[in-house]
Structure 1
Amino acid sequence: MKREHTIQSLGTLVQLRTLDVDRLQADLASQEATRTRYQNNLARLDALATGSGATGTLPPALALNCGAYKQNVMAMADLHRTDLALHEANMAVAQRQLTAAWTRRELLGKVLEQQQVQLAREQDRIMRKREDDIATQSWLAGRTA
């Protein structure tokens, strides 16, 4: 009875660890989508800065305006790059957490599997002993009759 309770408790723990792994996987997928958005935004900002053309061929007022525009776009791109780097660092932490959670879940799964195998062996041993006892009683009853 005690081993069955242990198996039931381990099963519950494995389910909880699986939920934790699933939650961390969903979180990491969300972070990956955010990273993709950052990368797409950076590509667009780079295209905007490049697409505004050369400022040297424009009249002075337009050149000043275009230069300020490019400077602002490049500053925004730099901020996005910094945010992306921080986000990727957070993603690395989340990936390590996911790996650790997955390892914990697998280890508990192995322990659960071992306990189940031991219980099956124990139940098989009890069943064989019972069958042997019945066979012995049957054989003894046949000898005395």
Structure 2
Amino acid sequence: MTIERTVTSLARLVALRGREVDRLSLDLAGKRAQCERQRHTLARMENLKDSMEPGIVADARGYNPALALNRADYQVVLQDLIEMQRATLVRHETDVAESHDAFSHAAIKHKSLDTVLQRKQQMLQQAHAVREQKRQDQMATQAWLRQAHP
């Protein structure tokens, strides 16, 4: 394979890896935003639970056992939702960590391929410069020979 074809193939590969890095970056940003929303939701649910004052539940007629039972059920359900939200948040944080690792790996691979591409491009430019110099030297030699041997 000639160096020109190598450079062309490497350039295509670098472009593909660049698109992969961009895609993984967007994916990671979306997952981080989702985690942040879940953290915010969890904090709001915990604030709601903490704001519920324990105590006697009464209405205008006095102590209301049905209202107290309803409140207790609500607190249990809310605690269950908080635990489910925490478990979901842990799963999402794990997913974010895995996505970050994939992004980092892809970025490193892209960077190394880009470095190889730049070296190959420099080699190609040097080869072109050498060929051009040889061509100019040959033309100068021919012109000198024409002048020296008319």
Give the TM-score range, shorter chain.
over 0.9
Match of 1:19 in 2: 19
Higher helix share: 1
- Partners of 1:20 and 1:101 within 8 A in 2: yes
Between the aligned partners of 1:40 and 1:90, the Cα distance in structure 2 is 18
Match of 2:6 in 1: 6
Q: 1:113 aligns with which of 118, 125, 129?
A: 118
Match of 2:106 in 1: 101
Give the residue type in structure 1 aligned to 2:35: R
SS for the counterpart of 1:57 is: coil
TM-score calculated relative to the size of structure 2: 0.89
| C-alpha displacement of 1:12 | 0.7
RMSD: 1.4
TM-score calculated relative to the size of structure 1: 0.92
- Give the gaps of 5 or more residues in structure 2: 58-62
- Give the gaps of 5 or more residues in structure 1: none
Q: 1:124 aligns with which of 116, 121, 129?
A: 129
Match of 2:71 in 1: 66
Match of 1:49 in 2: 49
How many residue pairs end up in the alignment? 144
Corresponding position: 1:28 with 2:28:
yes
Between the aligned partners of 1:144 and 1:16, the Cα distance in structure 2 is 58
Give the residue type in structure 1 aligned to 2:41: N
Residue by residue over 1:56-113, the C-alpha shift from the partner in whole angstroms, topping out at 9 and shown as x without a partner, is: 2324623332222112111111111111011101110100000000111111111111
Sequence identity percentage: 33
- Partners of 1:52 and 1:66 within 8 A in 2: no
Deviating beyond 6 angstroms after TM superposition, the runs of 4 or more aligned structure 1 residues are none
